[in-house]
Amino acid sequence: MRIATAGVMSSCLFGCATDQPKPETPQQRKSDTGLLATTQPEASSELTLNTRLQKLAKKPLKPEETGELLDTAAGNFFYGPGLGETALDVAGIVAFPPYALVLLGNSILSLAGQEPLSISQVLPEKTKQEYRTVMDNLYSGPGLVVSGAAGEEYRDRQAAEAKWEEFVTSVEKRREHDTMQLFVQEK
């Protein structure tokens, strides 16, 4: 279950946060002994969303947290650009079967924590923005239809990221509360 949860988190993040900055790495500082000491930022708001999700995935999720995770992932997929991206990928594989190798390679890179390859990476900045706008408009079609039929709000990439932020914050607060309860019970 833990692997499946991490897989869902990474694949959903890949779909809703492409071309986002890499997760932050711990900062290193010299300690009094002259050795390098690693420190993590204090507040979770200082960490990127990807880093916070990876941190949550290290501990098994409770059943209700798993349900929230799946609701968030499915909602972002069906009511956002994920459905359109998948439809376009399937059409690409049907039209040009070797494209499946590109998608497989990108999936492996994504699961390994690396940035997947994208055509937009080699484009100049102005063209890159135009390309993203065209592709986002293309991807949004199926999600707009499904969200409209379901009576839900369409989730663009920013709205999807906000849903992930809400989920992560909720789980972090619950875990912090549970830890405090254990601490109080021990006293």
Domains contained in the chain, number: 1
pTM of the model: 0.65
Render pLDDT for 140-165 as a digit per residue (tens, 0 to 9): 999 999 999 999 999 999 999 999 99
Taking the C-alpha atoms of residue 100 and residue 91, their distance in angstroms, rounded to an integer, is 11
Chain position carrying tokens 């897989």? 7
**Domain extent for 152:** 2-13+40-186
- Strand partners for 36: 30
Q: In this structure, what token pair is assigned to residue 48? A: 């990127």
Residue 119 lies in a domain: yes
Q: Give 187's pLDDT tier (boundaries 50, 70, 90).
A: low
- If you compute the radius of gyration of the chain from its CA atoms, what whole number of angstroms results? 19
Residue 24 lies in a domain: no
Render pLDDT for 4-55 as a digit per residue (tens, 0 to 9): 444 444 444 444 444 444 444 444 443 343 433 344 444 445 788 888 888 8
Residue 26 lies in a domain: no
Residue 123 lies in a domain: yes
Query: Cα angle at 148 between 118 and 87, to 5 degrees?
Result: 30
Residue 34 lies in a domain: no
Residue 54 lies in a domain: yes
Question: What integer pLDDT is reported at residue 80 of this predicted model?
Answer: 94
Residue 83 lies in a domain: yes
Q: CA separation (Å) from 158 to 41, 81, 146?
A: 24, 11, 18
Residue 156 lies in a domain: yes
Taking the C-alpha atoms of residue 47 and residue 37, their distance in angstroms, rounded to an integer, is 18
